[in-house]
Structure 1
Amino acid sequence: MFIALLRFTEARSRASQYMEEHKHWVQGGFADGVFLLAGGIEPSQGGAILAHQLSREELETRLAADPFVAEGIVQTEIIEIDPGRADPRLAFLVS
């Protein structure tokens, strides 16, 4: 499982130009079943995605296809988590 951080760069002022494409890209991750959660990093620092059922390499490829990444609007950081324990509501995440 991964947390992908997408932090704004100096180019964040161009985000509105690519917002619809970015939203479509995010929706694709949910449709493919690999994104579990997506949201903003507050206060207005970028976004974060919780992803599973893919390799780090697959996630890197998917992130590179995000228009925000491709246009240099955000910089990515990937944090890998090996879940060992979870609330019963999230038990499906424990490997």
Structure 2
Amino acid sequence: MFIVSLSYIKPIEEVELHLAEHIEYLKKQYEKKAFIASGRKVPRTGGVILSNVESKKELESILGEDPFHKNEIAKYEITEFIPTMTLPEFSSLIQN
């Protein structure tokens, strides 16, 4: 599993210009089951994505399609981790 931390590198006004396209991108990744959760940071300096793809290489390819990446709106930090505990209702989302 991966945690993706996005940090905006452009002013929020420029983020807003690409937000609708970014949301459509996120929806497509949810349909493919590549992402399992996402949202804004507080304060609004970026966002966080939880991904359950099989490899970091696959995730990097997926993130390369993000309009925020293509338009140099955000930088990405990827942290891989192995969940050892979850709520029972989330266990089906975890790839082992």
- Structure 1 stretches lacking a partner, 5+ long: none
**Contact map agreement 1:12 1:73 (CA 8 A) in 2:** no
TM-score by length of 1: 0.89
**Contact map agreement 2:9 2:75 (CA 8 A) in 1:** yes
| Number of aligned residues | 95
SS in 2 for 1:10: coil
| Residue 20 of structure 2: aligned partner | 20
Identity %: 28
Measured against aligned partners, the alpha-carbon deviations of 1:5-48 in whole angstroms (never above 9, x if no partner) come to 11111344311221111111000110101110010111101111
Runs of 4+ residues deviating >6 angstroms:
none
Task: Report the alpha carbon displacement of residue 89 of structure 1 after superposing the two structures with TM.
Answer: 2.1
SS in 1 for 2:72: coil
Measured against aligned partners, the alpha-carbon deviations of 1:34-73 in whole angstroms (never above 9, x if no partner) come to 1100101111011111110331111101111101111111
**Contact map agreement 1:83 1:94 (CA 8 A) in 2:** no
Task: Report the alpha carbon displacement of residue 79 of structure 1 after superposing the two structures with TM.
Answer: 0.7
- Structure 2 stretches lacking a partner, 5+ long: none
**Contact map agreement 1:36 1:50 (CA 8 A) in 2:** yes
TM-score by length of 2: 0.89
Task: Report the alpha carbon displacement of residue 94 of structure 1 after superposing the two structures with TM.
Answer: 6.2
